[in-house]
Structure 1
């Protein structure tokens, strides 16, 4: 299967999850708006999400996948099964202790980490503690799910792991639908959402476990033992956990700062949901597929293939995220108005959230490029270098957020996150290039410039059309007309961008077909033997 087909498999499943996510956030906006209960729920939900990124996605996509792929290459499925059972026993035990400890300490965690600004409001503080306590076991479910997903990705079974997140949105939509149907008050709605999160974690874990069984591996529980393989995993996983959760770490910092203003946390969350669509569809797809592909190529000594995979992933990211960034920048008001402005979500809310979304749009290519660059380190079992860059990014984000929030309020938080993301991207790219792990291609630079030109022309067209169609996009128009107009803008923009990009040489169909198709191993081995694998 070609690399692009694998990207599309994961990206398509992720797109389905993000579409359900939009539906969820639309219902959330109608039910809670940017009121105090919305702030409470998002603050409580952010904490298990942070730990999910730290201990699940970051650690296991970065550390577990290369080691699991190495076991497959060296000892076949039997060796990989033994390794996974060793890890499962330790992971389950550690997560159980962590979950119980965090639940007992939740009042202190809310006071010092999650939302210091809630301390003066006892009702908001108490509700945040209760909701976070209910949702924190979601971390345990998702960490085990991440391990099982890493196994599936290494075995080239991508769909089950990619489709599992859909169930979180489906159950949360069900809870919101019940609340709106019965007219439940905001606090009862938040309770229903919290229990739906916990139920979704259990369901996602079950789906991925069945996928692993279908792939031919049955995991049994073994007494926790720190074997050499497990110790090696921990050495790699600890820095990778910090690195993998960079976005959530920066968002948690922003949330803590924004908790001093009512509605700020919810406003940041609504904007975050929009830019998570291209970030998830492109960035997650590239990271999930690229890491096991790079790890296997490097373990087999196919250096030229690894370099080609890395460059093609960067090219794929820029090809899709540059127009997305331009579109989000110019259509931020229209997107927020059409998707959210109804019920408890007012025109003033639209103005605030749209300004945040526009800034996130500028940071989007940087956020996604991080997903394409980090596997270049992880596949070589180097998790410390990205961690160092993450710490620089966190320090910059914190300093900017504290400085800019009093001036620009929520938009200051978004500026800090975007600047931190681009700083991380530049550091990752520069060091890969300096080490020779990223081969400089003049053609990649020229194609990037042409893609920027195509994106700028598309953006200018969207500015013109949105002004002409302003009557259809206004809140006074029927919702169907608003959706039709917004969909029409997107439907026109996409062929214009792709047409210009191909016409001016920013992309080429033949090049995409050739470069995104994996080279047969025999050919790659020939490159290694003849010494051509180190050149491109």
Structure 2
């Protein structure tokens, strides 16, 4: 299977999840708007979600995958199974202890960490505590699921791990549809969503557990024991967790700061959902696929293949994220209006604020995706500390700017701080890879990047002009179906312009894709076929 096909496999599952996520957010915006229940739910859900990124996805994609891959190479499937059981025993025990401690301390955590601004509003504060208490066990399910997803990715079985998150949105869309049908009030909807999150965690864990068994590895529970392999994993996982979850750390900080202003938390989350589509589909797909592939190339001593993997991954991410960033910057308001402006959301007139936040997030989108393409260059070499230091600097930049900008800019100031911190982090990662000789100069990449920027700029100019001409069909007075149709035409036209210019001026090369596919077919023909 070619690198691009692997990206597409992971991206397809992520795309399904993000598409349903849009449906979920549209229903939530209509049901709750940016009111107190929405603020409470988003703040409460942000807490277990942050821990999931820190101690599950970030840590295991960075630390577990290279060690698991090494164990397969050295001791076969049986050795990998033994290693997985050792990790499972320690992880499950640690997560259970953490969950009990957090449940008991939840009132203090919400007051001083998650949403200190809610303390002045007892009803919102109490609701946030209650929802966070219901949802926090989701962390156990998702952390164990992330471990099993890492196993599947190392075995080059990408689809089950990519499609499992879809079920969170399927369940929450079902909850919201039922609430709409039965006419539930906002408070009832908030509690139903919290229980839906917990149910979704159980379903996702079941999916990847079955997939791992189907792959030939049945994990049993072993008494927790710090074996040499587990100690090595923990040594790598702590900095990797911080690095892998840097976006979530910044988001959690932004949520805490935003809690001091009504509707700011929900406004940030609604904008976040939109820019997470290209970030998830492209960035997550590249990070998931690149790490095990790069680890194998380095462990086999194939430095040419390792360099090619890194350069082609950056080329792929920029090819797709630069036009997405340009579109979010230019037409953020029509996007927000079509997706959210109805029901309780329209009543609060939240479109200008959410669209401003979305436009700023668009400026940071390429940086957020490049971080995911650069960090495997460190993780595959079992260097998780250097990205952690850069992540710490990024957090410091984010906090200082957010505190500076929030009083005058409001929620858009938090988005601006996150975008700037993202670019600082991406620049430090790339600069260090170059200085260490881990990133070779690639003539094709250097030639294509400025041409992709030009193509995106031309597309943005055309999109800005067309949006102005189509104002009568995109404005609030137009019916929603007219707005949606006009937005679809704009997006389709922008795609034609961008891809036409990009291929026309040499920013993209279809021949490279064909050569990649032919090369991997040749590998398969010589016995190097990869398992599906």
CA contact (8 A) 2:43 2:115 kept: yes
Shift of 1:443: 2.9
Three-state SS of the structure 2 residue aligned to 1:156 is coil
Deviations 1:320-340 (CA, angstroms, capped at 9, x unpaired): 100110011101000001110
Q: CA separation in 1, counterparts of 2:235 and 2:519?
A: 31
CA contact (8 A) 1:308 1:515 kept: no
Q: Does residue 181 of the first structure (1) align with residue 181 of the second (2)?
A: yes
Length-normalised TM-score, structure 1: 0.96
Structure 1 partner of 2:468: 467
Shift of 1:488: 1.1
Shift of 1:206: 0.2
Q: Which 10-residue stretch deviates more, 474-483 or 509-518?
A: 509-518
Shift of 1:5: 0.3
Deviations 1:351-392 (CA, angstroms, capped at 9, x unpaired): 000000000000000000001000000000000000000000
Q: CA separation in 1, counterparts of 2:454 and 2:25?
A: 33
Change in CA separation of 1:260 and 1:157 when aligned onto 2, cut-off 3 Å? same
Deviations 1:437-467 (CA, angstroms, capped at 9, x unpaired): 1111233122110011111111111112112
Shift of 1:495: 1.8
Three-state SS of the structure 1 residue aligned to 2:64 is helix
Q: In structure 1, list runs of 5 or more residues that go unmatched.
A: 525-536
Change in CA separation of 1:350 and 1:232 when aligned onto 2, cut-off 3 Å? same
Change in CA separation of 1:228 and 1:523 when aligned onto 2, cut-off 3 Å? farther
Q: CA separation in 1, counterparts of 2:461 and 2:206?
A: 47
Change in CA separation of 1:417 and 1:15 when aligned onto 2, cut-off 3 Å? same
Kindly report which structure 2 residues correspond to 1:185-264, keeping only aligned pairs within 5 A, or say none.
Answer: 185-264=185-264
Q: CA separation in 2, counterparts of 1:246 and 1:18?
A: 20
CA contact (8 A) 1:4 1:517 kept: no
Three-state SS of the structure 2 residue aligned to 1:119 is helix
Moved over 6 A (4+): 520-524
Q: CA separation in 2, counterparts of 1:122 and 1:328?
A: 37
Q: CA separation in 1, counterparts of 2:12 and 2:363?
A: 24
Change in CA separation of 1:518 and 1:403 when aligned onto 2, cut-off 3 Å? farther
Structure 2 partner of 1:281: 281
Shift of 1:89: 0.6
Q: Does residue 105 of the first structure (1) align with residue 99 of the second (2)?
A: no
Shift of 1:478: 2.2
Three-state SS of the structure 2 residue aligned to 1:260 is coil
Structure 1 partner of 2:529: none
CA contact (8 A) 1:65 1:151 kept: yes
Change in CA separation of 1:407 and 1:517 when aligned onto 2, cut-off 3 Å? farther
Structure 1 partner of 2:15: 15
Deviations 1:392-446 (CA, angstroms, capped at 9, x unpaired): 0000000000000011111100000000000000000000111111111233122
Q: CA separation in 1, counterparts of 2:508 and 2:197?
A: 41
Structure 1 partner of 2:293: 293
Three-state SS of the structure 2 residue aligned to 1:105 is helix
Q: CA separation in 2, counterparts of 1:34 and 1:440?
A: 47
Structure 2 partner of 1:148: 148
Kindly report which structure 2 residues correspond to 1:447-526, keeping only aligned pairs within 5 A, or say none.
Answer: 447-515=448-516
Q: CA separation in 2, counterparts of 1:33 and 1:102?
A: 29
Structure 2 partner of 1:334: 334
Q: CA separation in 1, counterparts of 2:259 and 2:138?
A: 23
Pairs aligned (count) = 524
Q: CA separation in 2, counterparts of 1:25 and 1:211?
A: 29
Shift of 1:516: 6.6
Structure 2 partner of 1:433: 434
Kindly report which structure 2 residues correspond to 1:116-135, keeping only aligned pairs within 5 A, or say none.
Answer: 116-135=116-135
Kindly report which structure 2 residues correspond to 1:354-503, keeping only aligned pairs within 5 A, or say none.
Answer: 354-503=355-504
Q: In structure 2, list runs of 5 or more residues that go unmatched.
A: 527-532
Shift of 1:210: 0.8
Q: Which 10-residue stretch deviates more, 109-118 or 491-500?
A: 491-500
Q: CA separation in 2, counterparts of 1:335 and 1:522?
A: 44
Q: CA separation in 1, counterparts of 2:496 and 2:361?
A: 24
Q: CA separation in 1, counterparts of 2:436 and 2:513?
A: 26
Q: CA separation in 1, counterparts of 2:130 and 2:15?
A: 32
CA contact (8 A) 1:312 1:515 kept: no
Change in CA separation of 1:133 and 1:227 when aligned onto 2, cut-off 3 Å? same
Deviations 1:180-203 (CA, angstroms, capped at 9, x unpaired): 122211111100000000000000
Q: CA separation in 1, counterparts of 2:313 and 2:518?
A: 12
Q: Which 10-residue stretch deviates more, 265-274 or 467-476?
A: 467-476
Structure 1 partner of 2:345: 345
CA contact (8 A) 1:338 1:475 kept: no
Deviations 1:271-319 (CA, angstroms, capped at 9, x unpaired): 0000000000000000000000011111111111111101110110111
After superposition, the CA RMSD in angstroms is 1.4
Q: Does residue 157 of the first structure (1) align with residue 149 of the second (2)?
A: no
Shift of 1:521: 6.8
Three-state SS of the structure 1 residue aligned to 2:382 is coil
